[in-house]
Structure formats: structure tokens, C-alpha cells
Structure 1
């Protein structure tokens, strides 16, 4: 079995949410973290429909507060 590509999405404006949704629907990818400096964008994402599906990545308001995770192989902004 192939390991999933673990990624983080930084920036959850309109385009970031589109990208995050595409990654979440890709069976070869796992979105493990999301981040946005705008608390409203972050809250909108975290409380989105994927929350009710039982999927929720680690989230952070600021990149500098996000602890390093060496499992993440790609970061998309």
C-alpha cells in the first residue's frame, strides 16, 4: 500500500479552500494541517462541512505558531 502524501495548506481564502477541498478528495493525499493569519478564514474552514464528516486537520492561526511536523512533505500556500 502506498503511503499518502501528507500536506499542509497555508492560506484559507477562497482559493486556499478550493485547493484544500481538492486535496481532501484525493485518496493519495492527507491534509494534516491548515493555517491562516485571518481568524475568520480559519474558523470558516474548521467549522465547514468536513467537520461533520469526521475529518479535521490540525489548525493554526499563525505559521510561526505552528509546531514543526516532519511528516508533512508538501506545503501549499
Structure 2
């Protein structure tokens, strides 16, 4: 990565609740920050990261919040 511009590299896949679909990626930027990038369907409930992240990395991306994203079924139940 170049230090002249901000660049990121994917360090983990976010796995959906079906236990096999990749619904997003965790990127580490050359600034040291972590960020989540979703697939084309946008934010979805996450089951796990592969490979697993450290506890500090999970806190930085609010992994607990990612596991609580409402599903389409839960939205329909509220209507």
C-alpha cells in the first residue's frame, strides 16, 4: 500500500446467518482503521468473521451490532 493515498485491504469475510454466504468484508486501511463493506444487498445480519478477528477488532467494527441487524422476516413481523 502507498502511504501517499488512503488504501485498504480486506482482512476478513463477514458470514451471513445461513453459515455460508459472504455478506460483507472487513477492511483494514493504511491509516490503521477498520471498516465494513457490504455486498450489493447492503447490511445483513452477520453470524461470524472468517478468519476470526481479535476482540479489539470486533469492538472497532461493532461486531455485536452486526449480529443484531434486523432480518427481512423481523421487519415483516412488525408490520
TM-score (norm 1): 0.30
Return the structure number with greater helix share.
1
Return the structure number with greater strand share.
2
Bigger relative contact order, structure 1 or 2 (CA pairs below 8 A, ≥6 apart): 1
In terms of Rg, which structure is larger? 2
TM-score (norm 2): 0.30
